[in-house]
Structure 1
Amino acid sequence: MELCVNTKLSLSGASANVKIYTISENICNEITSIINNISLSELMNLVGRHGGCEITSDNPLTIKTCDNEIEVVVSPANLLARMGWGKAVSKARENCKGCQ
């Protein structure tokens, strides 16, 4: 996989470092077209279009799509993010039910 996105996203003062790896330029282009306005729901819609997802690590939070085309690695970037990290991981687990 190749690194497609390496950025920091913020929500209500909490910041997270986000790295997204993909297997193809087409998928990377799809991601980079939405990354500036990405939300959790958009991210989950994206992985849903790739067969769902599974979480392979909590810290950093590592999400892989079931078709193995995308890997998202998220880590807290500030104190506020670290304080709410457990809730963020729980929310990701609610949306990421695993692969069959």
Structure 2
Amino acid sequence: MTKGKLLLLGVLMSVASAAIAVPKAAAAPSGIQAYEEQEFIADFTKFKIGDFAPAQYLTPEYTIKQWNLRNLPAPTEGAHWTYMGENYVLIGNTDGKIMKIYNGDIFYHR
């Protein structure tokens, strides 16, 4: 083979191996996992999982009792769902610790 052909073959092989080595993008979450959030803003404050919700969200007026109609999973024992800053937030009944966050669009999930 001539030097030109060898050079072309080397370039093609390096391009092909680079294309194979490219990591594949992770699949987008599906189902209700697509609505999971790690942080949000409510009441002019940024909250994340592990933070504590203000005391008002521990009151019965802010407790979501019909969570299943909003496509939310059942709350864990000792916790309840509330609505903060356009998000559904699972918080501890006694301390208000944020355990899980779903974007409010989960309401429309089918």
Structure of higher RCO (CA pairs closer than 8 Å, 6+ residues apart): 1
TM-score normalised by length of structure 2: 0.30
Highest Rg: 1 or 2? 2
**TM-score, normalization by structure 1:** 0.32
